[in-house]
Amino acid sequence: MRTVKTRWPLLAVLLALGFGLLAAASARAGQEPAYWALAFENDTPKQLVLEDPAGKLRFFWYLVYRVKNPAEKPLPAHLRLSLKLALEKQVSDYDDGFDNVAEAHIEKKILEREACNWAELRATPLKPGESREGIAIFSVGREAPDFDKMTIFVRGLAELRPLGRDDNVRKYRERTLLLRYEQVASRWRAGKELKYLPEEWALEEVSIADRGESEAQPSPEASKKLQELIEKARKEAERRRKLLEEGAKPPPEKSSAEPTKMPTVAGPPTGRPAPDLVNTLRKVAAGTPTVRATVTETLGRGERQQAASGTICVGKDGRFTLERNTQPGTERALKEQRIFDGKDLWVQTVAKGVGDAVRRWTVAATKKEWHTLDGRPEVDFATVANPARAWRLFADDLLYLGTERLGRETAYVFEARPDKRHDALLGGPLTGEVLGKAAGRRVRFWIGSVTGFQLRMQVYDERDQVVALLECSDLSVDAPVPPDAFVFKPPAGVEVIDMNAAFAANEKH
């Protein structure tokens, strides 16, 4: 398939012509023209098919592109890409969304280099002469949609032109680049391929609420609403040191080529507590080195089901970093990064149309009832905040159900049945969506016998239906993780919300 590219000079000329008349008019009126434009080029869109942890296929279209700042001043790279597939009168629209698994596959297996997603691209302005490579990923679902025409809309390449103001709303005209293709029978192989059509420019009218700024910023109400929706914790803090006990034997050597080694504790009768087995698994987990894993999360059921995916890295001292992408490929796509540095839990969210939000929880200031349960030292801040460590919250209340093979590792299966003793713990904000907000009657855990790592968690409602699932796969034990992965620096200009102070203030009212 021939790759078609739009070159820097061509777009620069087109954009310059587009703004020439307006700039000349502004100059005649004694106004300094201030409109800027970015240069852009792209490869031909390509299809990608991946298999999810459940063995089902997921279909994507993706576009690799490059954007450059030809100006002599820094310019924002707030690109917004969307995809339209048309078959006669049937039209399907998709947004460039987060999908951590697809992005990692493209970078490692196809490009063999890193590229920016839309949030990374717009994180900092482009310096004069700087160019960046980006990937737009459009998740199209479980089946490949049939289409004749494909159009990719690229917004954000040119500065908005003011048209006037209506009450408290400012109106602008935006120039949008249209990359157009059609599917035709391939001359070289069976099936179809994309045929490049001449690109076009469209003028679109946009409205922005007037808050006295040149670019719309999220309102305090929108930021607060976003924060309330995403209360989920992550922090796998100081766990191993506290869990190391005198006389604890180190776990056996682990190798993917070796057969699974089981802890030397016999399982008790099924359906009964297993304190000795749980204690042994704690010791195994305490000796497990750095772990990196792929995380898949599902919350709800039916039409209200929401999915997220990401990657978690856990350090030897309990610090961790978790990146999760919610509702990728939709207008409500959201990227969340959680970093626990040993003292603070940082939660940064990036969402289209809302912007960035950063929240901070401090271990020392966290309320006592959020990190203690019946005086058990195992239920600490790190345990409550880390969804991949949730099994430890129930300690001796765990009921042993048997063993099950998950991938290369055999897992012990346990079940917890939360009661009123757990209300204060599970009702707090740190337990997050999967465990706390699911409000389950039963919680089942699969704990790896070799790693002591929580491989799976399922939450069941009163009708015995699964309402939440958290699964960790592709475990890499003793994975090389750079130290700065557990360090968080708030982006410039983004307010950091002190969640401890916020909750303390709410309690006074």
Q: What are 155-206's pLDDT values in tens digits? A: 999 998 888 877 667 888 899 999 999 988 876 666 678 899 998 999 888 7
Q: Specify the DSSP class assigned to residue 421.
A: G
In the predicted structure, residue 233 carries a pLDDT above the cut 50? no
Kindly state the tokens that stand for 467: 């309402």
What domains does the chain contain, in order, with CATH numbers?
8-217 (2.60.40), 222-244+270-508 (2.50.20.10)
The pTM for the full model equals 0.52
| Residue 73: strand pairing partners | none
Q: Which residues contact 97 (CB under 8 A, 6 or more apart)?
A: 137, 138, 139, 325, 327, 328, 329, 330, 333
Q: How far is CA 191 from CA 43, 74, 146, 187, in A?
A: 20, 45, 12, 9
In the predicted structure, residue 126 carries a pLDDT above the cut 80? yes
Q: Residue 81: its pLDDT value, please?
A: 93
34 φ, ψ (degrees, to nearest 5): -125, 15
Kindly state the tokens that stand for 283: 């010791």
H-helix or E-strand spanning residue 141: strand 131-141
pLDDT per residue as tens digits for the range 352-400:
766 688 999 888 887 655 555 555 656 777 777 788 888 888 877 899 9
Burial 151-190 (b: 16+ CB within 10 A, else e): bbbbbbbbbbeeeeeeeeebeeebbbbebebebeeeeeee
